[in-house]
Amino acid sequence: MSKLLPLAWLAVLGAADACAQADSAAADAARPAVKAADDKPVQQVTISGGRASDMDERRNSVAGKQVYGREELDRNGDSNLGDVLKRLPGVTLGGRPGRGGDVRMRGMGSGYTQILVNGERPPAGFSMESLAPDQVERVEIMRGPVAEHSTRAIAGTINIILRDGYQQRDNQLKLTDSIEQGRHSPNLSLTVPGKTGSLTWLLTGSLFENRQHDQTETVNRDTRADGVVVKDEHVLDETRRETRGLFLTPRLSYKFDGGDTLNFQPFLMANRSDSNGRSDLAQGTGLVPPGLLQPPEYNLALTDGHTESTFLRGFGNWVHKLQGAAKLDVKFGFGAGHSDNDSLRYQYDNAGNLLDRYTDTATVRDRSANTGGKYSTPLGKQHSLAAGWDVELGHRQETKVSLDKNGAAQFADSGDNLTADTRRLAAFVQDEWDISAQWSGYAGVRWEGIRTTSSGGSAGEISNTSSVLSPLLHAVYRIPGHDKDQLRASLTKSYKAANIQDLIALPALSRLNSATQPDRTGNPNLKPELATGLDLAYEHYLGRAGILSASGFIRNIEDLIRRDISLENTLTGPRWVSTPRNIGHAQTKGIELEAKFQLQELVADGPAIDFRSNYSHFWSSVEDIPGPNNRLDAQPKQTANVGLDYRMKDAPLTLGGSLNWTPETLIQSSVSQLVYTSRKRSFDAYGLWKFDARNQLRVSANNLMAEDAIGANTVSTNGLTQLANTTNQTYVVWSVKYEMKF
C-alpha cells in the first residue's frame, strides 16, 4: 500500500491539473470581454471585504500556514476537536479510536507538537479531547516555527483560535445527542453575538454530559532465558465513567475613537467525573510449572474514583496605532486551574477475602500570568519589521497521598507538598518582505529561556535552567508564467523542552507493577532536545478552495529524551520504575502529499462533490538504540486520509464520509523495550438535511469499523522477558445534531 498511495496521488494530481487547465481555458474563452466606450479592454478588479479565505491565507503566508475554518469544523458534526484534527494532513491522534489521545504532527509523539490557544500556551491539564468544535473559530497549522510564537515546535504548531471574528447577527443554538453502546451523551451549545456602540461581544458556551464504558483484556507473560514461563496472567478490566462539563468562551472587543482596540477573551473549562472499575485476574494453567507458580497479586479488584477539574485562562490584547502605519500590540493573560483526584481500590483473593485497600488522593493547583508585545512597522512597500517579547510565570502546588489498609505510605514523599515555579522569557525580531513579484522572504530569530525550580519532598530544592536561540528562514518562490504554482523552503531551529512532570513530578504508581507497567518518575537534570530542520514544498492551487501539494522535511535532533526501565529498591520493596533521560542523536524525515478540490470547479456540469485526501510517509532512527525498529516513539511509517462530500441537486441533502488510516507500528523504544501497536482505521460518515436557511439536522457516525485496538509491550532485562498483550474494544458513536439560528 505504501507504493500504491503515492502513485494514486500522482494520478489524481495529473488528472486534476489537466482538468483545471482545460476548465480555465474554456472559462476564459466563454467569458465576454469588458470594454470601455473606446472599445479598449477595461481591467476587472474584484473587491472583497472581511478576513481572507482559508485558502488565500495559506497561499499568501510566507512561513507556510494552513487554515481550517468553520466549514471544516462543522463538516462531520464532531463532538470534540480531536476528531476534526485527525483528518487534517499529517496529523494523527494517539490512543484508540473514539478515545482520542495526544495530538501528533508528522507522527511525532507528545511534546514535539506545540499546541496553542489564541497563540498562547494553554493551561496545565488542558485536554484537546474536551474542547468542543463549536467553541473554535479556526485552526491554524504551521509546519515550521516562526519567531513570534515559541519555537518549542519540532514537529510543528497547531494554533486553536477561539470564536472571535463572528460576523453573523443571528444567535445559534445546537442540540446534540451522541449514543455509544446505548449510552446517551447530550450536549447543548449556544452562541450569542451583540454590539452596543463601540463595544462588540460574542458569548459562546456549552454544557455536556458524557457516558462511556471501556473494556481491556491483558495477558501478562514472563519467560526466562531458558524458555521457562514463570508467570501467565489474564486480566479483564472494565470501567464505567460519567463526566459532566461546562465550557464558556465569551469575547469582548472595544474600539476607541483614535483607532485603538482592546480585546479580552476568558476561557473556562469545568469537568466533574465519577467512575467505577472492576479488574478480574486469573492465572493461566499449563504453562507455568507447579513449583514456580506464585500467588497472584489479587483475583478481584474494585475501584471507585472521583475527579474534579477547573481551568480558567484569560487572553487580552491592546492594539495601539502609531505614526506611519506602525502599531504596538500588547498582550496580557492569566491562568488558574485546580484538579482533585480521589480513588479507593479494594483487592480480594479468590475466596473473597480482603487482601488490601489503597486510598489515593492527588491535588494540583496551578497559577500563571503572562505578558508580551509586538511592535511592527513598515520599512517600505510590501516590507515589514517586527520585534517583541514574552514573559510567562507559573506556580504549581501538588500533593499526593497513597496509603494501604494499614495506613502505610506507598512511596517516600506521600503527603508532602511539592511546589514548582517556572519562568519563561523570550525576545524576538522578524523581517517579512515581498522582494519581488516572484519572491517573498522571512527572516527571524528568537531567544527563549526557561527556568524551573521546585521544593518539597526528599529531593529538597531542585532547579533546571535552559535557553535556546532559534534562527528562522522561510521563502516562497512564485513560478513565472504559472500564477497558481509556488515553491516553499524553510530552514529553522526548534526545540522540545521537558515538561514539568518529567522534571519534578511525584511518582505515578502502577497497581500491577512490572517492567511492562512500571511506576513513572521524573529527572531534574533533563536538557531540552534541539532540532535543525529543513522543509521544502510545491503547491498548485485549484479554483476557490483546491490545492495539490507535495512537501518533504528533515529534522536532526540532539539530546533526545527517552525513558529507561529499571528495578529499584523503594519504600515498599523492589519496584519497576520508568525514568526519562537524554540519550543522544536522532533523525526523522518524511514526505507529505495533499489533494483537495471541488469537482464542479474542474469539470463543467460535474456533480457537486468536494474531494480531499492526504498521505504521509515517515522515516526515523535513534542513534543510541539498535535497529531495525529504532524509530522515534510512537511514530508510524505512514498515515493517510481520504474523504468526500456530495451535495444533491434535487434535495437539500449533503452526504459525506472520511477514512483515516494508520498502519501497525513496531518501535524499539530502548535497548530493552519493544512496543507494538496495531493498525488504526477509522471510518466516519454523516448526512446533513437543511430545512431552510435557519434550521438544519445533521446525523453522523464515527468509528463505523469499530476495530479492536491491540498492543504489545515487551521488556527484556536481567535474563527475563516480560510481555504484556492488550486488547482494547472500540465502539461506534452515533450523533444527532439539530442546529438553528434565531
The confidence score (pLDDT) of residue 553 equals 97
The confidence score (pLDDT) of residue 324 equals 82
347-395 per-position pLDDT tens digit: 999 999 999 999 999 999 999 999 999 999 998 888 999 999 999 999 9
Q: Which helix (H) or strand (E) holds 500?
A: helix 500-504
Q: What are phi and psi of 97, to 5 degrees?
A: -55, 140
Rounded Cα distance between 513 and 206, Å, is 40
The confidence score (pLDDT) of residue 130 equals 67
pLDDT higher for 531 or 170? 531
153-167 per-position pLDDT tens digit: 999 999 998 887 555
Q: Is 410 helix (H, G, I), strand (E, B) or coil?
A: coil
Rounded Cα distance between 333 and 266, Å, is 9
Residues 6+ positions from 392 with CB-CB distance below 8 Å: 121, 368, 369, 370, 422, 423, 424
pLDDT of 443 over the 50 cut: yes
Give the type of residue at 9.
W
The confidence score (pLDDT) of residue 273 equals 96
Give how far Cα 302 sits from Cα of 151, 234, 343, 702, Å.
Answer: 45, 16, 10, 31
**Which of 702, 726, 730 lies closest to 77, judged by CA?**
702
69-81 per-position pLDDT tens digit: 888 888 877 877 8
Give how far Cα 236 sits from Cα of 111, 180, 299, 306, 510, Å.
Answer: 31, 21, 11, 22, 16
512-526 per-position pLDDT tens digit: 899 999 999 888 889
Cell of 178: 451522541
Cβ of 611: how many Cβ atoms within 10 Å?
A: 18
- Rounded mean pLDDT of the chain? 88
pTM of the predicted model, to two decimals?
A: 0.85
444-479 per-position pLDDT tens digit: 999 999 999 988 777 678 888 999 999 999 999 999
Do residues 591 and 616 make contact, with C-beta atoms less than 8 angstroms apart? yes
What fold does the segment set 198-741 form as a domain? Maltoporin; Chain A (2.40.170)
Do residues 193 and 171 make contact, with C-beta atoms less than 8 angstroms apart? yes
Q: Which residue has the cell 462531520?
A: 76
The confidence score (pLDDT) of residue 168 equals 58
650-705 per-position pLDDT tens digit: 899 999 999 999 999 999 999 999 999 999 999 999 999 999 999 999 999 999 99
Task: Band the pLDDT of 331: cuts 50, 70, 90.
Answer: very high
399-416 per-position pLDDT tens digit: 999 999 999 998 888 888
Task: Band the pLDDT of 30: cuts 50, 70, 90.
Answer: very low
Per the DSSP assignment, residues forming a β-bridge with 3 are none
Rounded Cα distance between 535 and 532, Å, is 10
DSSP annotation of 730 reads -
Q: Is 675 helix (H, G, I), strand (E, B) or coil?
A: strand
Do residues 658 and 703 make contact, with C-beta atoms less than 8 angstroms apart? no
